[in-house]
Amino acid sequence: MFLLYSPIIVSLFAIAFVFYLVTKINKMPVAKGKAIEITKAVQEGAMSYLKRQYKTIGMVAVVLFFAIWIFFGFQSGAWVGFGMALSFLIGAFLSGLSGFVGMLISTQANTRVAESARKGMGVALDLAFKGGLVTGLLVVSFGLLAVSCVYFVTSKSLFSLEYLIALGFGASLISVFARIGGGIYTKAADVGADLVGKVEKNIPEDDPRNPGVIADQVGDNVGDCAGMAADIFETYSVTTVAAMILGSLLFAGKTQFILLPLFIGTVSILTSIIGSFFVKLGKTQNIMGAMYKGVAVSIVLSAIGFYPLISNTMAGQNVSVMNLYLSTLVGLVVAALMFVITEYYTSKKYSPVRSLAKASETGHATNIIKGIAIGMQSTAYPVILIALATIVSFWLAGIYGVALAVMAMLSVAGIIVGVDAYGPITDNAGGIAEMSDMPQETRKITDALDSVGNTTKSVTKGYAIASAGLAALVLFSAYSQKVTELSLNKGPGFILDDPMVIAGLLIGGLLPYLFASFLMQAVGKTAGKVVEEIRRQFREIKGLMEGTAKPEYGKCVDIVTKAAIKEMLLPALIPVVVPVLVGFILGPQALGGLLIGSIVTGIFVGISMTTGGAAWDNAKKYIEEGNYGGKGSFAHQAAVTGDTVGDPYKDTAGPAINPMIKVLNIVALLIVAFII
């Protein structure tokens, strides 16, 4: 009985542990003096943006709530329609709540990290990681709790799986809005502040004279924290749902195959909590090594725990326990190797970033060319890894084995998102230390933490994209199985000599490029408005450049907020509307082709943009450390240009591909019964 309801019990335990962490964080002292005013401005800006964003998304969610209720009510009865609409609302609410709470803790932890840096690196790292872990554990515990509760409440219903699909759609919808809106906000503010501050006025990053710095600090939280949390919550939830659907369709009447994905998530929440206690600085003071140690412990403990779990759950079933177990190990290996691969292409320690810094010596153009080339090249190893993982896990246990591999990979998301959310906390802490004139020793520690934070954000984005690609493959498999089931096994399948499949492939392949182009243009347009406002303030506010007058920070925050909300609507509707149009006009074969086409190009676009953008960022930082002429040199000027181009690559368009391809798949699952 405990095993059956362990997903709910462990989720509630993890939420209780999160409240314990929040209590410990809030007991730490906050920074004093100027830092109080800066922190308050960041908190108010982030809260203002999220309120506007969720108000806009809420209106869309309410419309879809009634649309789902009416649409499915006509087909299956009013109560079924209401149940699906309610499941949709639960998924949407928890996705938004994950990002909101994560952002709230991030804006509370940043000032405390800046203050704790006075006591040394170890104290500051511990606090920053705890702040990130709050977000990570909330994402997985909310995801597991939502899917488990909806399943157990509706398990006796004939429409149990449809309720789960509606839950996944709700999570997906909020995720794509959060990723797009947060991404536009954070990079428009960052680019606008950098173009005037660092390029035109030649003042340092996070200089309090720059009117755009508060908007930039706010953006770190609403993009990298709230956006990432909603993204991984959605990936975690829809992957669990897809694995459960496959278990139901492939092994009819055998609930063990439906419940196993939930149990895998349960084990890894516990191992993530245990692993978090191993994030401690050693004698070498290696910050990245300390966090890798925690991730490694979580992965190893999960690998140990999965075998008895699977052997106990599958007792008496005519399946190979070892093959199912090995499939989960494949997923854990992919998670670990994606960290290694992405760090190689984005860390200052390795040749790709250093060669990009070297290319900056010969000018802006060679920096851009090299950065694009590194982004393209960085797709090779991840795609080969994903292909091998798919082949091996399928060979071991069929498409269900692939589903278990993806579930295992995502099961350790608690500690991995914790590592990611550490990034915006330390970024803000560094900015607060800089703007409030904290002692040089303190700023040295916050700078070291922030430098590692750039790498952690990069490697976790690589993990997120790989998991999104594999999750989308599992969702497509669920769609394919549903098509076969609904057509009474007489469906023609998805074959390449079918013109509808080819048409779908081409349309699907187009979507990530079209989607990314909208986001890049949105960042450019919004950043242009920020640049105009910052220039106006430097021109009109006497004494601003000299530091004797105070900038009007709120005006930049307001400009970016309004523009981000406006610009996010059109691209967010693309993955919702296009599959509906293709499905109803061209049919299920074309829709299946669209899903595969979007997955293939989406993985390439997502990886190349996020990795290339991160490489540009760290090449600039490598030069700023004194290499190739250091700050103010010609190479540094070229690197700043590359970093500015790379900002919307790595933090707006690239990461937003993740939820986009999953929304396409979940919408297809939702409408498949109507197009057969």
Inter-residue contact 511 to 578 (CB < 8 Å): yes
pTM > 0.85: yes or no: yes
Check residue 358 and give its pLDDT: 94
Query: pLDDT digits over 258-317, tens only?
Result: 999 999 999 999 999 999 999 888 777 788 888 889 999 999 999 999 999 999 988 878
Average pLDDT over residues 340-356: 91
Residues 140 and 267 sit within 8 Å (Cβ to Cβ): no
Q: What is the pLDDT of residues 116-144, one digit of tens each?
A: 888 888 888 888 889 889 988 998 999 99
User: What is the model's pLDDT at position 119?
Assistant: 85
pLDDT at 53 over 60: yes
Give the mean model confidence (pLDDT) for residues 618-633.
88
For residue 325, give the H/E element and its range: helix 321-346
Cβ atoms of 450 and 429 within 8 Å: the answer is yes
Residue 428: is its pLDDT beyond 70? yes
More confident residue, 196 or 152: 152
Average pLDDT in the 211-238 region? 78
> What is the pLDDT, as a whole number, of residue 433?
79
Mean predicted confidence (pLDDT) in 235-260: 87
User: What's the rounded mean pLDDT across residues 559-588?
Assistant: 89
Maximum mean pLDDT: which of 38-47, 195-204, 456-465, 636-645: 636-645
Residue 154 · residue 37 · CB < 8 Å: no
pLDDT in tens, 72-106: 877 777 788 888 899 999 998 988 888 788 778 88
**Which of 670, 199, 197 shows the shortest CA–CA distance to 435?**
197
| Biggest CA-to-CA distance, the chain | 80
Least confident range from 199-213, 320-334, 401-415: namely 199-213
Query: Who has greater pLDDT, 430 or 206?
Result: 430
**Low-confidence winner among 35-49, 485-499, 511-525, 538-552 (lowest mean pLDDT):** 485-499
pLDDT band of 475, cuts 50, 70, 90: confident
492, pLDDT greater than 70: no
Report the C-alpha gap between 431 and 115 in whole angstroms.
12
Following DSSP, what letter does each residue of 548-613 receive, concatenated? SS---HHHHHHHHHHHHHHHHHHHHHHHHHHHHHHHHHH-HHHHHHHHHHHHHHHHHHHHHHHHHH
Joined together, the tokens standing for residue 65 give: 């709530």
Distant-in-sequence, close-in-space partners of 391: CB < 8 Å, separation ≥ 6: none
Cβ neighbours, 10 Å, residue 159: 19
Delimit the domains of the chain by residue range: 12-672
What percentage of the chain reaches a pLDDT higher than 70? Answer: 98
